[in-house]
Structure 1
Amino acid sequence: MKNRIAVLFALSAITLAACSSHPLEAPSPPAYVSPVPDNWPQAQAKIVQKKADYLESHQVAYDWFGNFAFSEADGIPYLVLKLLPKLAPELWGSEENFLDAVGLFIDERQKTFPVARGIGFSGLSRAEAQGNIDYASFTCGACHIGRVRLENGQMDYLDGGVNASFNIVQFRVKAYQTLQKAYAGKTGDDRYAVLTQKLLDTLDATHQKNPNYFYNNYQSAGRNFDANYEAAQIALFKKTAGQTVKKYAQRVEAEYEGFGALIAKNYPGLESAMIAGFPGMADATGLSAINGYIGLRSTPILKWFAGIVLPPEPGITDFMSVWEQDKRLASWDESHKRLINGGGQWNGNIPMPIYRNLVAMLTLGLEQTDVRVAAFAEELLDGLPASPYPFAVDIALAKKGQDLFAEHCADCHQPKNGKVYDNLGTSMKRAYVVGAVLNYAARKGLYDNCSPDTTIRLYNKDIKPCAEFDGVSLAGKKDLLMSPNSEHHGYNARPLSGVWAQAPYLHNGTVPTVYHLLVPEERPASFVKSRLDYDQKLLGFSWNSQQTSGKEEGYVFQTNAVPALSNKGHDKDIVEGKKTYRLNWSGDKDGAFAIIEYLKTL
């Protein structure tokens, strides 16, 4: 019967077309397929202005996202951070920015900021200027403010994008190596005493030479980090230097040991590469779990249990772009007992934005995590526009690609598609990292940091950022902070706004360009990651080791070194219902290039 109706409908359509003076138009693409603009430079300029206006109207939230530390009471003592290159100059970067050794850069838009973009210090957020010593930590911007080099050699900053140069593992390793050098062979508590004295001596010599060395006379929101502020901070630090330095050093040592345990468990055969770190990538689940491992491994009765805390599978993934979070927002089911239709991170197991932000912060294992950072990040990222493709676009070709995208890609990569795909042939290792223990620990940690009763002060008002979600109270809904593991054995197909800047591709960053994603038979076994130049033809950052720009940047990345780094997947056509979606365009490279051109406009 259904087939008969379909035939009659088709015949009717043909008859109508023949009788009409105007032929029937092709069906319109779904509303979530963005049309190609007729004039790309004009459209590009509008997006650039829209993003600039958005950032200006959300300036406070952006400052917290980019520059504010994750805790006012824990982290790296700020003065110690700035002294690390004095203790071991051979381990750190340039004199202008010692953190370029781990991929953090000086943002030309805030030249007077006293440290690289991606590091914040608590003096920016603390109510009383000299109420405590300043602690530093990474900020949201460390991973999520990226760069691309334009054709004129200038940098375009990608706010909410990916800092593909940031190597969080290498920072921890270099900190550990710096301390080992400073100990000068001493052991026990003697090593901490030696370290403290070296820091104090170096501190005095550095400050005497330059009374603005630590804060660069920076000014922010009415607070002056001038020579007087700097002198007061030094005096505060000296009062408890022994205790402060010892606590910091023990933390560095414990993190190094914990990371070693993670590598031994999940990365046999890849130990040296993991210790070197992969810029733009991290096993974030493992880094979070290390904090629990550190606490357990020092308790003899529970030491045997420590290995269970670490993830059961490798969880290394590329950093994600975080703009346009409204397109990934979950919604309630009719009963308000489940959250549905929301992707988020790679497999979407943390459905609510503020808790995704908190998880990223908890990765650092700090005490008294500042929930204000997570709340401001949620405000900023909800509608933050993606950065537009900064190069030229072939509009005619892009319009051809739009039709192919609508037919083969849009159904999966539409906003708020919460489906988890397990049929793409990608490595499932990352999808299985959150077991029952980690799920429970994450829910507890998130709730302890932000329960429905937690009150913070934003814009001079008391608010409860975790009291409700999408108009529904979260009281009694602690279990919803993490989705059930059974729903996340696979990966989300995220919306593709700004996809040009997300390269390399797949969750583990093993495919350098969109061309290689669409033409899997040409995927390279190794390529260069973390370059800032761009391959406009294939749509990805410059990846070929034969391509040289005169800039020494990037590192050779070997795919398939371990199963978790497999570059397989998204390489075979799939069938959903009665429809076949083409994923492998090896037999139609013209079609692949049309899709590539269309993706530039998103």
Structure 2
Amino acid sequence: MTEQTNPILLPTSIKRVFQRILVVIVGVVAVAVFFLWPVLSNSPVDYADIENHFKYGSIGSEPINGIPYWIWKVLPELFPDKLPGKGYTSLGFIKESDKGLPIGFSQRRVFINRVGLNCAVCHTGTLRDNPNSEHQVITTMPANVLNLQGYIKFLSAVGVDERFTANRMLPEIEKISGGLNPIEKLLYRFIAIPQTRDALINQAYRLKFVEEQPDWGPGRVDTFNPYKAIQFHFPMEKLRQDELIGTSDFPSVWNQKPREGLQLHWDGNNTSVDERNKSAALGTGVTPTTIDLPRIARIADWLWELPPPKYPYEVNETLADKGKPLFASNCASCHAFGGAYTGKVVPIQEIGTDPHRLDSFTYETISNQNTLYAGYPWRFKNFRKTNGYANMPLDGVWLRGPYLHNGSVPTLRDLLEKPENRPKEFYRGYDVIDRERVGFVSDVAEENGKQYFKLDTKLDGNSNSGHLYGVDLSPEEKDAIVEYMKKL
């Protein structure tokens, strides 16, 4: 009797067929999982070291507003004509030799690897002892060399460029990536590249007002006007002219604990460090649905009691001792922790500094600001409109130049002069410390082929007027105060 006619052997035959089919199915599923799991996962790159986490860790900016990693990598190679020099470092981004991304960029896999911005992009800078010394990277200081406006303009320019095509990008991506897998190739060709271009075109449209502003220059940002355009969809062309410029310096972010309850941001519009942090996160591309609260909390915990960097150079202690009582009588009530007016707002009519940043934060902005994170326990509730600028504590002030809220005065010594005697023009972005006047050297226009940004205090948003405190002291007394402030 053959197998075909044996009723007992027939089920065994069928069983073997099903086993083979099952093996094939399992194999197909395994291959699919191998290729698709990285695509379907949402996994940031994490760092055990807290300072590396600050520099490179994700806070949630990648899923919606991040740029696919390989597109971001090839943009400088494909559009070198849109940059002032070679690569992203020509815009002041800081690149450590052993890292794949500049400081301030994080990576997360959302379908494909994407890059976004984090806290460090605005709060890490560099310092040199002299023109021939190495750049020292200092986290939590203001990003004194970063041209963020230049980065915005670069992305907008490449997005509208007709050369932004899959046919042009994919060969370059293949060359530097070592080869994409088949699924990644399809994702890049039909989804990632077209969607990125559309997003950059949309950004260019929403932020076109940035092209008409006076250049921010390195170390500065218009904090809330891009917010209005991106987060709130304000019709920027219909806003009043007096609110369209809000350029201000990046602040330091060390030592946050004693700042809780003080009026924060330059105009003192919030007293909550936590809300300030979540608001700043939105500026990096985070959204209410993508914010990574545990990773932001890790940074906030580190910053809470992080001391400012100590002045690393020699201090004339005799002169500093003379400056200490002068600081106490002329500055401490507004700028020392525990001072009667520290962390409080001085009306613009009294302080007399450039009003543009104050005017840019309007009641309409607040009404929209307080809807952010609606439906979440951390919805904003502390933003307020003020009538002036807040008195900031001066811890680590030696590393926070240029000075005033808009960075319009290059050194502390210049700030103690009357406005008419302060520099009308000076250069920003040069990172050699000025040990005598305290700040950064500001008279270097060019070094080794690199051109530095000339700040013109006559332009809107750049005025160096106001803050007349201490201007009538003698030159010797001013020198003594500056020497003492090196120790703060």
TM over 0.5: yes
1:504 aligns with 2:402: yes
**What are the Cα deviations for residues 287-326 of structure 1, in whole angstroms up to 9, with x where unaligned?**
2112046x466xxxxxxx9735998352110111111111
1:90 aligns with 2:81: yes
Q: Give the corresponding residue for 1:358.
A: 278
- Aligned residues of 2:61 and 2:284 also touching (Cα < 8 A): no
Q: Give the corresponding residue for 2:209.
A: 261
Of 51, 59, 63, 1:73 maps to 63
Q: Give the corresponding residue for 1:142.
A: 121
1:565 aligns with 2:462: yes
**Structure 1 residues 238, 433: CA separation in 2 closer, same or farther (over 3 Å shift)?**
same
**Structure 1 residues 346, 414: CA separation in 2 closer, same or farther (over 3 Å shift)?**
same
**Structure 1 residues 373, 311: CA separation in 2 closer, same or farther (over 3 Å shift)?**
farther
**What are the Cα deviations for residues 126-174 of structure 1, in whole angstroms up to 9, with x where unaligned?**
xxxxx62122112211111111102460233221101211111111211
**Structure 1 residues 552, 391: CA separation in 2 closer, same or farther (over 3 Å shift)?**
farther
Which aligned pairs between 1:102-501 and structure 2 lie closer than 5 A?
Answer: 102-107=91-96, 111-123=97-109, 132-151=111-130, 153-181=133-161, 183-184=162-163, 195-207=165-177, 211=178, 231=180, 235-236=183-184, 238-239=186-187, 241-261=189-209, 267=213, 270=214, 274=215, 277-292=216-231, 295=233, 307-308=238-239, 312-330=243-261, 342-367=262-287, 368-415=290-337, 417-422=342-347, 423-447=350-374, 451-452=376-377, 466=378, 478=379, 480-482=381-383, 484-485=384-385, 488-501=386-399
Larger Rg: 2
CA distance in 2 between counterparts of 1:371 and 1:554 reads 38
RMSD: 2.7
**Structure 1 residues 343, 138: CA separation in 2 closer, same or farther (over 3 Å shift)?**
same
CA distance in 1 between counterparts of 2:242 and 2:63 reads 28
- Aligned residues of 1:401 and 1:598 also touching (Cα < 8 A): yes
1:527 aligns with 2:426: yes
Unaligned runs of 5+ in 2: 1-46
CA distance in 2 between counterparts of 1:415 and 1:238 reads 57
Q: Give the corresponding residue for 1:542.
A: 441
- Aligned residues of 1:287 and 1:364 also touching (Cα < 8 A): no
Secondary structure at 2:106 match in 1:
strand
CA distance in 2 between counterparts of 1:447 and 1:325 reads 26
1:584 aligns with 2:485: no
Of 81, 90, 100, 2:89 maps to 100
**Structure 1 residues 565, 373: CA separation in 2 closer, same or farther (over 3 Å shift)?**
farther
Unaligned runs of 5+ in 1: 1-57, 124-130, 185-193, 212-229, 298-304, 331-341, 453-465, 467-477, 574-582
Q: Give the corresponding residue for 1:223.
A: none
**Structure 1 residues 527, 309: CA separation in 2 closer, same or farther (over 3 Å shift)?**
closer
1:596 aligns with 2:482: yes
Of 495, 501, 513, 2:411 maps to 513
- Aligned residues of 1:343 and 1:351 also touching (Cα < 8 A): yes
Letter in 2 for 1:440: S
**What are the Cα deviations for residues 34-88 of structure 1, in whole angstroms up to 9, with x where unaligned?**
xxxxxxxxxxxxxxxxxxxxxxxx9654333211233341211111100102212
**What are the Cα deviations for residues 549-593 of structure 1, in whole angstroms up to 9, with x where unaligned?**
66735211111212x21100112x4xxxxxxxxx214x5010000
**Structure 1 residues 355, 421: CA separation in 2 closer, same or farther (over 3 Å shift)?**
same
- Aligned residues of 1:289 and 1:311 also touching (Cα < 8 A): no
- Shift of residue 377 of structure 1? 2.5
- Shift of residue 178 of structure 1? 2.7
Q: Give the corresponding residue for 1:44.
A: none
- Aligned residues of 1:87 and 1:178 also touching (Cα < 8 A): no
Secondary structure at 1:357 match in 2:
helix
CA distance in 2 between counterparts of 1:262 and 1:377 reads 30
- Aligned residues of 2:74 and 2:169 also touching (Cα < 8 A): yes
CA distance in 2 between counterparts of 1:326 and 1:164 reads 24
Secondary structure at 1:427 match in 2:
coil
**What are the Cα deviations for residues 422-458 of structure 1, in whole angstroms up to 9, with x where unaligned?**
211112221232222211221211445xx32xxxxxx
TM-score where L is the length of structure 1? 0.66
CA distance in 2 between counterparts of 1:235 and 1:397 reads 68
CA distance in 2 between counterparts of 1:355 and 1:447 reads 13
TM-score where L is the length of structure 2? 0.81
Secondary structure at 2:372 match in 1:
helix
**What are the Cα deviations for residues 395-447 of structure 1, in whole angstroms up to 9, with x where unaligned?**
11001111111111111112263310121111222123222221122121144
Secondary structure at 1:100 match in 2:
helix
Letter in 1 for 2:81: E
Letter in 2 for 1:491: Y
**Structure 1 residues 237, 374: CA separation in 2 closer, same or farther (over 3 Å shift)?**
farther
- Shift of residue 376 of structure 1? 2.3
- Aligned residues of 2:403 and 2:410 also touching (Cα < 8 A): yes
CA distance in 1 between counterparts of 2:482 and 2:200 reads 44
**Structure 1 residues 446, 406: CA separation in 2 closer, same or farther (over 3 Å shift)?**
farther
CA distance in 1 between counterparts of 2:246 and 2:294 reads 28
CA distance in 1 between counterparts of 2:409 and 2:246 reads 17
Bigger Cα displacement from structure 2, 397-406 vs 85-94? 85-94
**Structure 1 residues 309, 239: CA separation in 2 closer, same or farther (over 3 Å shift)?**
farther
CA distance in 1 between counterparts of 2:211 and 2:363 reads 21
- Aligned residues of 1:504 and 1:513 also touching (Cα < 8 A): yes
Letter in 2 for 1:392: E
Letter in 2 for 1:537: E
Give the share of equivalent positions with the same residue, in percent: 24
Letter in 2 for 1:411: S
CA distance in 2 between counterparts of 1:481 and 1:554 reads 39
- Aligned residues of 1:404 and 1:595 also touching (Cα < 8 A): yes
- Aligned residues of 2:126 and 2:145 also touching (Cα < 8 A): no
CA distance in 2 between counterparts of 1:377 and 1:436 reads 31
Q: Give the corresponding residue for 2:16.
A: none
CA distance in 2 between counterparts of 1:310 and 1:441 reads 20
Secondary structure at 1:154 match in 2:
coil
CA distance in 2 between counterparts of 1:133 and 1:550 reads 39
- Aligned residues of 2:209 and 2:237 also touching (Cα < 8 A): no
Letter in 2 for 1:260: K
CA distance in 2 between counterparts of 1:371 and 1:447 reads 16
